[in-house]
Every structure is written in structure tokens, then in C-alpha cells.
Amino acid sequence: MSDTDMTDTGIAPVKRPARWHILVFLAPAFLVYTAVMILPLIETLRLSLFNMVEGQLAFVGLDNFVRLFSDPRLSADFWNALKNNTIFFIIHMLVQNPVGIAIAAMLSISGLRFAAFYRSAIFVPTLLSFVIVGFIWKLILSPIWGIAPTMMDWVGLKWAFAPWLGKPETALITVSLISVWQYIGIPMMLIYAALLNIPEEVLEAAECDGITGWSQFWKIKLPLILPSIGIVSVLTFVGNFNAFDLIYSVQGALAGPNGATDILGTLLYRTFFGFQNQMGDRSMGATIAAVMFIIILAGVSLYLFVIQRRMRRYQF
């Protein structure tokens, strides 16, 4: 073999065939996603800049937004919904995620009996339809037919029962906790997976250094699952500010009592589609949807560009 032979073949550029298959494989998802998500989103944002002027849909710039924030009734409804939505989110962050992490931590203890059973049992509500969840809890908590007052009576706690869903002070907390009950499986699963990913060697090394039990969780495991907790928080944020279904099925579109459980989703529904004698106002509905989009976008950007960049990641 001579050297020239080798160089000859090396010089000729390898002609790679166009990789059409990438486009072909991406196309279905891209087309479907565009048709059902991106186009409606753009259309909604566009509609929020239009309104009916003398029976014709006309471009009005930011007029709808000005009206949303300046009209005393609309703005009162909006701020009430935003406040309730924030409380809804805070309750999820304070209850759903810490409890989810705690359950995941317990499940990951090796040698726990029936771990697989608990794992599935806790995850099952997440798979249920919101209609079923709403209906079941409405029945459980019903002061007339509900099982909650009876069961509380068995343990002598009847006095503590109240029609929680009907009282303005407790309705929002109750609905939030129902939602927590339903969705707690998601943080549990994600954190559980993250905990299982922690290599044995790291934990063994920690044990050699005398770090066990609680301090092992706080000092070793928690820092390692922080990125997962971040993801869970973002998912909770997006899910909560998009929430609508559970409130609608438990409290109806009016989100009573007296708007105490009204969140952005239910406000959007009532405004866009109308309710009973109140006609739907599509432009204003689209405006509220646009504001929701902006709120969610801002929250997610804050996480992506500020928090996630500062988070320390560990490579094993």
C-alpha cells in the first residue's frame, strides 16, 4: 500500500444525502402542535387587540387592556381572580410540593414494605378525571349526604365540621386542598425518580463521613434533587395559573360563594363564553387570556433565566 492511495480517498469529500427523514419525522408533531396550540394562541393574542365597534370587529390597539384595568367592575373581578389564583398557587407550593417530597423521600427508603402499593395509590388520583374528583369531593363534603360529617362524628369531631365549600373564608382553601390531593402524585413521582438517580457511592461516602438519617437528607439528597424541585415548581406554577376544571366542577362557573374561589380560568370562561343572562364578550375574554399568558410567560422566564442559571448542578 502506498501513501498516495490513502490520501486520494481522503480528499474526495463525502457526499452526505440530505437528511429528509428528520423533517418527515418532525412534521406530524410540528403540524399538530402548530394547529392546536400555536395558531390558537396567536389568534387569541390578535383577538385581544380587536373589539366590536358598531357591530364590526375593528382594531382597537391596547384599548381592551386599558378597559380591563380601568373599568371598576372588570378590574375588581380581575384583581380578585389574580389574588385567589396566587393564594391557590401558594397553597400548592406550601402543601403539595413539600408533602410530595416527603412522601418521595419515605418511599425511597430501601426496605419499605408495600412501597409499590403506596406509590400507585398516591398516584391514582392524578389519573382521575377532574369531573370525578370534583364530584366525589363535593359529595364527601356535602353537609347533607356527605360522609365527612359522619366520619368526623365517629371520632367526636362533629363540632369541627362546617360547610367548607359554601363559606367564603374556607372555600378557596378547601378547593386548593382538593387540587393538592389530586395532583400530589406528580411531585412525588418526579422527586422519587430524582432520588433513585442519586448514586449509591455518594450516599455510602456520606455514611463513611458519619452523615446519616435526617442530616443525610438535608445535606446530600436535597441539594441533589433541587433541579427537580425547580421543575416541579414551574409545573405547579403553570398548572395553577391555567387551572379551571376543578373549580368549575366543584363550584360552578360563578366560582362562589361571592367570587371567593374565582381564579383567572373561571373568570376567563365567564367572560369569554358568558353565563346565564350575561352574554359572552370574546374580545375581553381574549384579553384576559392574553394577560394569563403574559403572567405565565413571566413566571417561567423568571425561572429559566434567573433561577435555573444560578442553580448548582452536580455531575456524577
Partner 1 sequence: MNRMLKGLLFATTVLAPGMAMAQSANLTIESWRNDDLSIWQEKIIPAFQAKNKDVKVTFAPMAPTEYNSAVNAKLEAGTAGDLITCRPFDLSLAMFQKGQLASLSDLPGIGNFSDTAKSAWTTDDGKTTFCVPMASVIHGFIYNKKAFQEAGVQVPKTEDEFFAVLEKFKKGGTYIPLAMGTKDQWESATMGYYNIGPNYWKGEEGRKALISGSQKLTDAAWVEPYKTLAKWKPYLGDGFEAQTYPDSQNLFTLGRAAIYPAGSWEIAPFKAQADFEMGAFPPPVKKAGDTCYISDHNDIGIGLNAKAKNPEAAKKFLAWVASPEFAELYANALPGFFSLNSTAVKMNDALAQEFVSWRQNCKPTIRPSAAIVGRGKPNLDLEMWRVSANVINGTETADQAGAETQKGLDSWYKPAK
Site for partner 1 in 168-187 (CB under 8 A): 168
Q: Under the criterion CB under 8 A, does residue 73 sit at the interface with partner 1?
A: yes
C-alpha grid cell for residue 252?
A: 360552578
The answer to whether 91 touches 177, Cβ cutoff 8 Å, is yes
Task: Determine the Cα–Cα distance for residues 151 and 157; give it in Å rounded to an integer.
Answer: 8
Measured CA to CA, the distance from residue 68 to residue 145 in angstroms comes to 41
Is residue 226 within the footprint of partner 1 (CB under 8 A)?
no
Per-position DSSP letters for 161-198, written without gaps between them: ---GGGSTTTHHHHHHHHHHHHHTHHHHHHHHHHHHHS
Q: Which residues lie across from 57 on neighbouring strands?
A: 52
- Of 257, 164, 273, residue with least CA distance to 265: 273
CB of 77 to partner 1, least distance (A): 9
125 scored as a contact of partner 1 (CB under 8 A): no
Place of cell 378597559: 67
Q: Is 72 in the site for partner 1 (CB under 8 A)?
A: yes
Min dist CB 273 to partner 1, Å, is 5
Q: How far apart are CA 22 and CA 29, in angstroms?
A: 12
278-279 and 56-59 as β-strands: parallel, antiparallel, unpaired? Answer: unpaired
d(CA 107, CA 120): 11
- Which residues from 131-170 bind partner 1, rule CB under 8 A? 138, 141-145, 149, 162-168
Q: Is 2 in the site for partner 1 (CB under 8 A)?
A: no
Q: How far is the CB of 311 from partner 1 (least distance, A)?
A: 43
Find out whether 244 and 270 touch, Cβ atoms under 8 Å.
no
**Minimum distance of partner 1 from residue 14's CB (angstroms):** 42
Q: Which of the residues 4 through 63 are near partner 1 (CB under 8 A)?
A: none
Q: Smaller CB distance to partner 1: residue 269 or 303?
A: 269
Q: Residue 224 CB, nearest distance to partner 1 (Å)?
A: 44
Segment lying near partner 1 (by CB under 8 A), choices 44-52, 191-199, 274-282, 305-313: 274-282
The torsion angles phi and psi of 273, rounded to 5 degrees, stand at: -95, -15
Closer to partner 1 at the Cβ: 4 or 276?
A: 276
- Shortest Å distance, C-beta 145 to partner 1: 8
N- to C-terminal Cα distance for the chain?
46
Q: How far is the CB of 41 from partner 1 (least distance, A)?
A: 20
Residues forming contacts to partner 1 in the complex (CB under 8 A) are: 72-73, 138, 141-145, 149, 162-168, 252-254, 256-259, 273-280
